[in-house]
Amino acid sequence: MQSFTEENYLKVIYHLAEKTETVQTNAIAEQIQTKPASVTDMIKKLAEKGLVDYIKYQGVSLTEKGKSAAIDIVRKHRLWEVFLVDKLNFKWDEVHDVAEELEHIKSVSLIERLDEFLGFPKSDPHGDPIPDKHGRFAKTQFIKLIDLKIGDSGTITGVSQHSSAFLKHLEKLGLTLGKQIQITDVTDFDGSVEILSSDKQINISREVAKHILISSNGKI
């Protein structure tokens, strides 16, 4: 059984490992909002417990045991987010912080029953996949909107930024999950992207386009 703090470390290491094979002390410190010295201490403890592989100065990676613990927390986080949006009418930009707390509630039957109550959802309000109780989930094949070419079209199926500011912005633009979009132009000047969505022309910045994930269906 892991402490609240240990669980947060495992989850952060898991997410960072999606980008780089082995995870750096500083990167963890930044995510956890703590100092590198504290991270080193905790990493040693997690290594003792067999949750991470750790070689001094070489970074850290999750063991199978650590990975499965991390996925379990991610599962809980995403299920609670679905609950908050589907049942309690939270907006998609309001759920993350509460889910950060709820994900640490320790009860296997609670999560299994919640999963059932929600109808075994496959993805959370941000399009992220929800692992099943065995930790299995489909690795989703997303393309960043920024990487599409003029004329390409697809469906918004995820976001790679969960900040309230970003999500509220998308909401205002009408760019929510499930929306069909087509790239109509890319501005030379600032690289902003012109898209067609719900019969409206919208201009979004490169920064926004980077964090919208599309499941492409090629040309219309």
Element (H, E) at 75: helix 64-86
201 bridge partner residues: 196
Q: Is 117 in the site for a copy of itself (CB under 8 A)?
A: yes
Which tokens hold the place of 177?
Answer: 């999950």
Question: Smallest distance, Å, CB 156 to Mn ion?
Answer: 15
Question: Choosing among Mn ion, a copy of itself, DNA, none, which partner's interface includes residue 201 (Cβ < 5 to 8 Å by kind)?
Answer: none
Among 38, 63, 123, 155, binds DNA (CB under 7 A): 38
Query: Cβ distance 68 to 108 under 8 Å?
Result: no
Which tokens hold the place of 129?
Answer: 């996949």
**Looking only at residues 91 through 130 of this chain, which bind DNA when binding is defined by CB under 7 A?**
none
Question: Smallest distance, Å, CB 98 to DNA?
Answer: 19
List of residues 6+ apart from 27 with CB closer than 8 A: 16, 20
What letter does residue 129 receive in the DSSP assignment?
B
* CA atoms of 151 and 140, how far apart (whole Å): 23
* Part of the chain binding DNA (CB under 7 A), chosen from 34-42, 147-155, 164-172, 208-216: 34-42
Q: Is 218 helix (H, G, I), strand (E, B) or coil?
A: strand
* CA atoms of 144 and 206, how far apart (whole Å): 11
* CA atoms of 9 and 26, how far apart (whole Å): 13
Question: Smallest distance, Å, CB 4 to Mn ion?
Answer: 17
Question: Choosing among DNA, a copy of itself, Mn ion, none, which partner's interface includes residue 98 (Cβ < 5 to 8 Å by kind)?
Answer: a copy of itself
74 or 204: CB nearest Mn ion? 74
Question: Choosing among Mn ion, DNA, a copy of itself, none, which partner's interface includes residue 124 (Cβ < 5 to 8 Å by kind)?
Answer: Mn ion
Distance between the two ends of the chain, CA-based, in angstroms? 51
**Looking only at residues 34 through 93 of this chain, which bind Mn ion when binding is defined by CB under 5 A?**
81
Among 40, 68, 160, 182, binds DNA (CB under 7 A): 40
Question: Smallest distance, Å, CB 101 to DNA?
Answer: 14
Question: Smallest distance, Å, CB 195 to DNA?
Answer: 35
Among 29, 126, 142, 209, binds Mn ion (CB under 5 A): 126
Query: Cβ distance 36 to 29 under 8 Å?
Result: yes
Q: Is 110 in the site for a copy of itself (CB under 8 A)?
A: yes
54 or 90: CB nearest DNA? 54
Q: Is 124 in the site for Mn ion (CB under 5 A)?
A: yes
Torsion of CA 90, 93, 94, 96, to 10 degrees: 120
